[in-house]
Chains A and B, each alone.
Chain A
């Protein structure tokens, strides 16, 4: 493991989490994308040291299974981001902004503590 990878993973998760805790839906989506990158890098880099591509005949190859998993994850991640962006856009056409509001229903449930 190189320290560079470990730091990169840390930075991707830190920036991703920070963006996630935001009111703007666009920045939340950016946060999701960053964390997605972080997870992909984590899975690929911790599974084996750098080496040859996992192709029959190569020597000192990297592990193929995590790569297959991450390949799927990249594609699914794209689908997720596309869908969330569409939601953000729809929100913008309705409200004129992309702000995530507080859940009114949750507030109502929270206030129920006095009732029995």
Chain B
């Protein structure tokens, strides 16, 4: 524990305590059950609020706090938490929005059997996400990263009776799980190459080279899957099968930002690489465009927002990925603004859904007239998304445009490409924002006004009011947020700079903003009546389905071919693999010469070997059971004599004893069976079996010749020889090993014998009982 004792209610390691508190409460909610759902929500909200307050309190101390827990010290694996500015901002978003949305959920849900699970997993997720943003190294981040994937899976599949929900959950899990594996790969590569995965240590002396570049590709892969970047963007809209509060929290405000957080941490260290910038701009740009264009096609307003989120994630990816000082600043600011307006929009959609029983643009009509206040608030959030002055989204997007316009002396021509992409993406954003507003709240001439089914309570409307209020007030006095995020941006990159203003004056960025708004509005008017039938040819979802289905069908085919049910086929397969491995290993060694090869060590040895070989071959040929058993006996006794000749008297004695016993047991059993083996048909042709056996024999001969004298160190036996008499008081070293040095192994061996004996006894008794019954019934028949 390196952490300074925190002042917060006397807890030594406040960050760890906060994270653990989430897990504790979450698990308790899951364990306690359904009947106390109100209590569950309250305790969850209390934990999240506590986290929020703790975060504020810790941030006010104006110093970075570190908490380190050694896990596996030898491997350098530690759970390392650090509270810097960026962690504070993200942590406040996670806990603040979490508390708000959990309270909202209490009113949104019917308190059915899934509600308790929702509340429990929700709190667990909040804990994992808090841990993720506090992570001071890549390894810790990976641990929490995987947790968030798992909890997201549970929440998407909350309605476990719906096949669609289960499928979407699995798709999200597999996609983000793949990214998780990539992240693990990156952790391993960094650990090997740089000896650390700590962000601070990497920043201090950034490693370079091919391995590091490979690690960075893995990092990008992880970030792109988690933050739904092209070509992995398909899982996020599917994740909207989850209830609206889950979508608002995990799949717009928090979890999908994990990839952005990762890129934000890495970009200041490694962002100067060309391939990094290009992949970010290309993938981020495509994501921004595809997300926006697909949002334009949606009739379900929640899906519209989901694709809008995909688009916005691409936008933020570009900001953080390019990582110039002013873009990093704009990125942090927009991250907060986006979390506020997108969560507000989702919650607004939830209220509409709850009140009117539909989320379909083609069904809803006149919502704006029936719920003027809600409509006004949702529109405020939507306009913040489109970047309309004087809302918060305007100030942050303005800052991003300024940063992009100035970026060419950091990143050259790429900055201009990024600028064009962002402008086009923003035009589409304006278009789908207008589609959202008019579709949700407008009146349709061809439809009757929707009916109010349930009046929303204050708990449903409250969070929407609060978030819309933040969008509006934040927009009017953007300096407040601007000052708040300056420290956090600097904690990512010391050079980060900037400030947010309400009225930037007429400059290039402002004119671009106006152009975007005018262009978007004009295009929307021109195209709103068009049916968007043309599908975009690049469809990640279908690609995923094809890959998924082919993996399943290939595995079924392999099973059908390999799982024949025939023991011989399995054996042949096993032996072939062992054979191949042996042959490869033998020839890999290269040197096929054998030192000190003799025909035989003595004439007795030669004689016995000839005899044993003859008996072995006879054993295969004969079909008479007793003769087979006798031949096995001959082989066993021959081996015993060989042991004696070799200088292993203990082995010889044991082998003699055991071979005698084996023979007795064989005879006892075979006595009852037919004298000859049936010429039973085999699954595999005789010739083939012969070839495989001969190949195995040949390979083993080669192997024996190769491994002889392959020893490079000295044998442990020499140590035992020295210790044998003084330590154990015995002169026979083999005996001393068995009963003293490795006495427990012998105990295990005796246990195996005992278990085998019990098994044999029971099998025999079962057979005897069956015989008695059969004999008795036979008597009855006779009688």
**Interface residues, chain A, with chain B CB atoms under 8 Å away:** 1-15, 17-24, 26-27, 30, 33-34, 37-38, 40-42, 44-57, 61-65, 67-68, 70-72, 74-83, 85-90, 92-94, 97-100, 102-107, 109-113, 116
Q: Which residues of A contact B661 (CB under 8 A)?
A: 78
Known: A13-B696, A34-B635, A102-B566. A71 touches B650 (CB 8 A): yes
Q: Is the Cβ of A21 less than 8 Å from the Cβ of B571?
A: yes
Q: How far is the CB of A72 from chain B (nearest CB, A)?
A: 5
Q: Is the Cβ of B646 less than 8 Å from the Cβ of A81?
A: no
Q: What 1/0 mask marks residues of chain B from 591 to 618 whose CB sits below 8 Å from any chain A CB? A: 0001011111110011001001100110
Q: Which residues of A contact B601 (CB under 8 A)?
A: 2, 4, 49-50
Q: Which residues of A contact B606 (CB under 8 A)?
A: 4
A-B interface, 7 closest residue pairs, ranked by CB to CB distance from nearest: A14-B697, A106-B565, A10-B701, A1-B708, A79-B756, A103-B565, A18-B693
Q: Is the Cβ of B717 less than 8 Å from the Cβ of A65?
A: yes
**Interface residues, chain B, with chain A CB atoms under 8 Å away:** 552-553, 556-557, 559-561, 563-568, 571-572, 575, 594, 596-602, 605-606, 609, 612-613, 616-617, 619-620, 625, 628-629, 632, 635-636, 639, 642-643, 645-651, 654-655, 658, 661-662, 665-666, 669-670, 672-673, 677-678, 680-684, 689-690, 692-694, 696-698, 700-701, 704-705, 707-711, 715-717, 720-721, 724-725, 731-734, 737-738, 742, 745-746, 749, 752-753, 756-757, 759-760, 763-764, 766-767, 770-771
Q: Which residues of B contact A54 (CB under 8 A)?
A: 647-648, 717, 721, 732-734
- 11 further interface pairs, Cβ-Cβ under 8 Å (given A19-B619, A70-B648, A86-B764): A12-B612, A13-B696, A14-B698, A17-B575, A17-B693, A50-B602, A54-B733, A83-B756, A90-B764, A99-B678, A111-B560
Q: Is the Cβ of B559 less than 8 Å from the Cβ of A4?
A: no
Q: Is the Cβ of A75 less than 8 Å from the Cβ of B721?
A: no
Distance of A87 Cα from B606 Cα, bound (Å): 37
A-B contact pairs, 23 of them (CB 8 A): A6-B704, A7-B701, A8-B609, A24-B677, A30-B632, A34-B619, A37-B635, A44-B648, A47-B715, A50-B646, A54-B717, A55-B731, A72-B738, A72-B745, A72-B749, A74-B651, A78-B662, A79-B756, A90-B763, A97-B678, A102-B566, A106-B564, A111-B560
Pick the most buried of A18, A38, A77, A88: most chain B CB atoms within 10 A of its CB.
A18
Distance of A76 Cα from B751 Cα, bound (Å): 10
Q: How far is the CB of B703 from chain A (nearest CB, A)?
A: 8
Give chain B's interface secondary structure class. Answer: helix
Q: Is the Cβ of B770 less than 8 Å from the Cβ of A3?
A: no
Q: Nearest residue in B to A54 (C-beta to C-beta)? A: B733
Q: Is the Cβ of B556 less than 8 Å from the Cβ of A112?
A: yes
Distance of A48 Cα from B273 Cα, bound (Å): 58
Q: How far is the CB of B267 from chain A (nearest CB, A)?
A: 44
Known: A2-B605, A64-B720, A106-B564. A71 touches B654 (CB 8 A): yes
Q: Is the Cβ of B697 less than 8 Å from the Cβ of A11?
A: yes
Known: A18-B689, A42-B700, A113-B559. A81 touches B662 (CB 8 A): yes
Q: Which residues of B contact A50 (CB under 8 A)?
A: 601-602, 605, 645-647
